[in-house]
A and B are shown apart, each in its own frame.
Chain A
Amino acid sequence: MGESVGDFVRRVSHELGRNRSRLLELARAVQERYRYVSPEAMDAMARSMGVPRVEVEGLVSFYAFLSDRPQGRIVIRLSDNVIDEMKGAARVGAAFQEALGIGFGQTTADGLFTLEWTPCIGMSDQAPAALINHVVATQLSSDSARRIVEILRQDGSPEKVVRAFGFGDGNNGHDLVRAMVHNNIRQPGRVIFGHMAPGEALSKALAMSPVEVIRDVKTARLRGRGGAGFPTGMKWDFTRAAEGQRRYVICNADEGEPGTFKDRVILTERPDLMIEGMTIAAYAVGAEMGIIYLRAEYAYLRAFLEHVLEGRRRQGLLGRDIAGKKGFHFDIRIQLGAGAYVCGEETALISSCEGDRGDPKDRPPFPTDKGLLSHPTTVNNVETLCCVARILEHGPGWFSEEGSSQSAGPKLLSISGDCARPGVYEVPFGITLAEVLRLCGAEDAAAVQVGGPSGQMVGREGFGRRICYEDLSTGGAVMVFDGSRDVLWIVNKFLDFFIEESCGYCTPCRVGNVLMRERVQRIRAGRGEPSDLDYLRRLAQTVKTASRCGLGQTSPNPVLTTLDNFRGVYQSRVQQPTDGRRPAFDLEAALVEARAATGARPAVTPG
């Protein structure tokens, strides 16, 4: 006899200590086991966790990887990032639809398969890519899509797919990973991918006082690698100085910005370095608990990361009296996300870790003062923490030898799109775009998106600009487009992404992104007027100014930076109203209903 939903929920809630902040994990467990979170499951979850049912429903309906309708035993999620589409995702999608006999958003009648689109899964260097449950399938073609469905039909196990196509390089072939994924480390530098001996940086840090550790991080002028570039030492100072009985260190491994995948490679090849940095952070700020917030798309790395954590516990590098330092206790757990880009924003991430919808929070209070469960918390990016370990190992001077005046050290770039060598590059901050394009083999690039959709679109005139906080700042994404790509299509795709991922809390982001897309689509359809350019700019400015969090404050960037740098493209697509007919008026669309009612055919050929 199978366990009833109610029994299952009770058992898992019990294992989670009926801790309200573990509600997302409970929901994930229910989803995994039953392929959806049913109304009965929600009732049971509310009862056993002691939360109002409406909050359970609110949580389940927030995250893309949770569903309140039954899904197939195997969920195929095809990534629809611009890069995936440039590399043929539409053809792959058509092949999946045909082989499965269903459309996107549908489940097969036998309950075996669900097919969905999903935003960037962090595989832009090997696009098109898809998730098959937790398993990643890369470099897809229509042939491989058909073959995948065949294998799944025969065997029902996504792992078989990987076996058929082979493992990727490095730790992707590790027993606990077994992924088709490739690292594509094109330019390993001395900092992130240099040789590392676990424990070395840590023992140097523990020989100093926490204040001295923070001083070294400040001397190295380290700034956050997650995108915002906040000085790491200062963030630690705040966290350390804040009043609180407990403190937390959170490693932001949500890597949701489309076109970014460098943290995935760190998690695969240098997890020890990252955890070492986290442990040093804990020592510096006085934290005993740490969380790695791992995006759901990287769930395939979870077992491997648990294994690395376990290894460090055995070596005395995590746990009590770490590395022999009396009184220094610290441990880490992994918290999986559930499909929400906004959860990479640090306050939304904290909401998510508290078992809530991933809504961002008001600042003040800042997380350093009142973060996770109102305790002082430092949130740091994966790469930032790796830099920390290196700074402690080799000294701040060694680290800041390279870089520009306000951006010390190296930066990992995730390069994808129209280039010969997509992958991960360690480059010194201050490098010009032209040099980056030469490295990756993109001499005929016409446009580069630096920093992902929330960043900036730069044209040829801007290729002399530098990648650093004082000019083109980036969390790592560099997407390259050649002259054959339509800039407005790209803008449209980026807005699709933000609309999909907006949390919907505040008015400007919830509504404004939809309005910007409407106008971009109108222009793309040839119905734009010159006044639409000012309309778009004002709208974009309102969304940027009034939005509550970084998502809405940056989602207008594709519109604003293309209006600045590709104005000609817009101008060539809009037309002055002539002889009393306004291009904005879509006669055909306006007549659809009347025609359907009367059975009439179009009188004018749509142009």
Chain B
Amino acid sequence: MNNTINLVVDGRPIQGRPGQSILEAAQAAGIWIPRLCYSKGLVPHGSCRLCTVYVNGRPQSACTQPVAEGMFVEANSQRLLELRRDLVEMLLIDGNHFCMFCEKSGSCELQALAYRFGITAPRYPYLWPQRELDASHPDIFIDRNRCILCARCVRASRDVDGKHVFGFYGRGPGKRVAVNAHVRLADTDAAVTDKALEVCPVGALVPKHQGFTVPIGQRPFDQRPIGSDTQPEKAPKTR
């Protein structure tokens, strides 16, 4: 049986395996498709939509779409860069993000994407939503202001930690990350060593008692733009 699937990404013929997503097949071929809710080893969620690509002309999320023989994928065109900028800017105003005070600055994937896309300030009006903090847990702090609803914690807690500590409350613009207790994280069996914490791409789930162990300026995305491991950044495009 032939287990190779041939597809074309941005004009380059590449190979994938059955069941592999476009995002992963591209990654293996050295093509970086921007992503946020995707996290290696977790079931894909398809919610941030940053990985949107055109498959034979139709928009699809590359993290959830399996490769198929003969696919033509447009993954990193100017129009997709524009689309992704819009999505990152939406996430920036959907929460309350203050990079200069955030422990995650420099390791934050949202911030890093904004930099890679050349976003200095969002064009959209800030929505300033009301979001709750939870400092009840002795070792973990939840700041929902910075949450982007990517469900990485939900998936990691459920599928890796086997705990179901996180879930979602509400719907639409009122959707929030929720904990497996009446109100407080302290009443769940969350632990600071949980995978759920490690995978949070932003500063919404942070360990207490260890602020700024790596100084600002020496953090991963301070050194090299996000995605550089797979594909070095081209000259940043301006709008």
The residues of A with any CB-CB pair to B shorter than 8 Å are: 39, 42-43, 52-55, 57-58, 61-62, 340, 357, 362, 364, 499-508, 510-512, 514-515, 518, 535, 538-539, 542, 545-548
Contact = CB atoms under 8 A, between A and B. Distances in A.
A482 to B, nearest CB: 32
B170 A62 contact: yes
A499 B52 CA distance: 22
A514 B173 contact: yes
A28 to B, nearest CB: 17
A546 B87 contact: yes
A515 B169 contact: no
Contacts of A362: 44, 46, 61, 64
A499 B181 CA distance: 28
A500 B87 contact: no
A39 to B, nearest CB: 5
Contacts of B234: none
A291 B105 CA distance: 50
Contact of A508 (B46, B49, B123, B170): B49
A499 B94 CA distance: 13
A505 B181 CA distance: 22
A53 B181 contact: yes
Bin chain B's interface residue count: 35 or more
A54 B172 contact: no
B164 A518 contact: no
B221 interface: no
Contacts of B166: 54
B49 A511 contact: no
B47 A511 contact: no
B165 to A, nearest CB: 8
Nearest to B95: A511
B172 A546 contact: no
A54 B188 CA distance: 10
Interface string B24-63: 0000000000000000000010111110100000010100
A236 B207 CA distance: 52
A546 B52 contact: yes
Nearest to B64: A362
B92 to A, nearest CB: 10
Contact of B49 (A54, A503, A547): A547
A546 B170 contact: no
A401 B44 CA distance: 47
A502 B125 CA distance: 20
Overall SS of chain A's interface: helix
Given A357-B168, A508-B86, A545-B83, 9 more contacts: A54-B164, A54-B167, A54-B178, A500-B172, A504-B174, A508-B49, A508-B90, A511-B127, A546-B52
A201 to B, nearest CB: 37
A546 B167 contact: no
B66 interface: yes
B49 A506 contact: yes
A507 B49 contact: yes
B169 A58 contact: yes
B164 A52 contact: yes
A548 B37 CA distance: 13
Nearest to A361: B46
A402 B171 CA distance: 43
A511 B91 contact: yes
Interface in B168-194: 168-175, 178-182
A499 B125 CA distance: 17
19 contacts: A42-B182, A52-B164, A53-B180, A61-B171, A362-B64, A364-B65, A499-B173, A503-B172, A507-B47, A511-B91, A511-B127, A511-B173, A518-B125, A535-B123, A539-B86, A545-B52, A546-B52, A546-B83, A547-B49
Given A538-B86, A542-B86, A546-B87, A364 B66 contact: yes
Interface in B106-122: none
B124 interface: yes
A555 to B, nearest CB: 11
Given A39-B182, A507-B94, A510-B94, A55 B164 contact: yes
B164 A61 contact: no
Contacts of A535: 123
Contacts of B64: 362
Contacts of A501: 172
B102 interface: no
A548 B182 contact: no
B52 A504 contact: no
B49 A546 contact: yes
Contacts of A54: 164-167, 178-181
Contacts of A514: 127, 173
A560 to B, nearest CB: 16
A514 B93 CA distance: 11
B171 A503 contact: yes
Nearest to B170: A61
List 10 A-B pairs, minimum CB-CB distance, nearest first: A54-B167, A504-B175, A52-B164, A511-B90, A54-B180, A502-B172, A546-B49, A542-B86, A362-B64, A504-B172
